[in-house]
Amino acid sequence: MMLRPDALEGRIALVTGAGRGIGLATAKMLAEAGATVWLNARTVGSLEQTCAEIGNGARAVYFDVTDPAAVREGFVTIQKECKKLDILVNNAGILRDAVIEMASVELMDDIWRTNLRGVLLCAQYGARLMARAGGGSIVNVASYIGRFGNTGQAVYGASKAGVIGATLSLAKELAARQIRVNAVAPGVIDTDMIADLPADKREKLLGSIGMGRPGTAEDVAKLITFLASDMAGYVTGQVVGVDGGLVI
């Protein structure tokens, strides 16, 4: 806990992909700081228990970020129920490695639709709701890979570099409406996303982290919560690493 429990009181937040990992940790932390959080997942019904545990009015909104009509419905629900949105965390994402020779068009489309187009669609509707509330904060979850690259991650890295590009332009476009847009670039974070790594790859990856340990979902959630809050009230268009000194 780093912010006062009332730091985000009265704020309405939406976190995409909030069922587990970084998204779940972020939803919890935003709620701890006083925000009313909408948690998003794809499977209807999957978040009811989690929302009850988080409390502070936390609610679930189910949509797949790759489905434009469903994304719109989700934001219509929030507009109807809350009349505004103050914080949007674009966290939903997928990771699939493939050396370039083996990257199928399906894999490219899946990754880009989820990691990049999903972010743009949510930002599009999110910004509209935020403009009504007189401003807000969008935090996009990019990746170390989108800035510095890695073998086997040309497709994933391109999607995350795209998220960074979108962040920079959105920050400029939305500044006049008092909407801040920033990105976080996590390094190696201990979530389901990296659970399937083969042992040798995992060892090598851990060896490249200066601080000698993988990050936790909470490590990332803290930075996101900071950027979402008024503590970062004059910060926009930034990409902030949270990687414990990772060098790949």
> With contact defined as beta carbons under 8 Å apart, do 176 and 132 qualify?
no
Q: Which of 72, 96, 147, 202 binds other proteins (CB under 8 A)?
A: 72
Q: 128 or 201, CB closer to other proteins?
A: 128
157 binds ligand NAP (CB under 6 A): no
Query: What, of other proteins, ligand NAP, none, does residue 22 touch, CB below 5 to 8 Å by kind?
Result: ligand NAP
The least distance separating other proteins from the CB of residue 102, rounded to whole angstroms, comes to 35
Judged by CB under 6 A, the stretch of 30-38, 72-80, 165-173, 186-194 that binds ligand NAP is: 186-194
235 HSE (CA, 13 A, CB side)? 19
Restricting to residues 137-176, which ones interact with other proteins according to CB under 8 A?
176
The partner in contact with residue 131, picked from other proteins, ligand NAP, none with C-beta cut-offs of 5 to 8 angstroms by kind, is other proteins
- Asked if 62 is an active-site residue, the reply is no
Contact 27, 141 (CB under 8 A): no
HEC profile for the chain?
Answer: CCCCCCCCCCCEEEECCCCCHHHHHHHHHHHHCCCEEEEEECCCCCCHHHHHHHCCCCEEEECCCCCHHHHHHHHHHHHHHHCCCCEEEECCCCCCCCCHHHCCHHHHHHHHHHHHHHHHHHHHHHHHHHHHCCCEEEEEECCHHHHHCCCCCHHHHHHHHHHHHHHHHHHHHHHHHCEEEEEEEECCECCHHHHCCCHHHHHHHHHCECCCCCECHHHHHHHHHHHHCHHHCCCCCCEEEECCCECC
Give yes or no for residue 22 binding ligand NAP (CB under 6 A). Answer: yes
Q: Which of 3, 12, 39, 75 binds other proteins (CB under 8 A)?
A: 75
User: Choosing from 62, 125, 144, 156, which is the catalytic residue?
Assistant: 156
Q: How far is the CB of 123 from other proteins (least distance, A)?
A: 12
Structure-token match 């000194």, residue found: 245
Shortest spacing between CB 143 and ligand NAP, in angstroms: 4
Residue 124 binds other proteins (CB under 8 A): yes
Considering the complex, what minimum distance in angstroms separates the CB of residue 208 from ligand NAP?
A: 13
Interface with ligand NAP (CB under 6 A):
16-17, 19-23, 41-43, 64-66, 91-95, 114, 141, 143, 186, 188-189, 191-194
Residues that bind other proteins (CB under 8 A): 68, 72, 75-76, 79, 124, 128, 131-132, 176
- Active centre residues (catalytic): 156
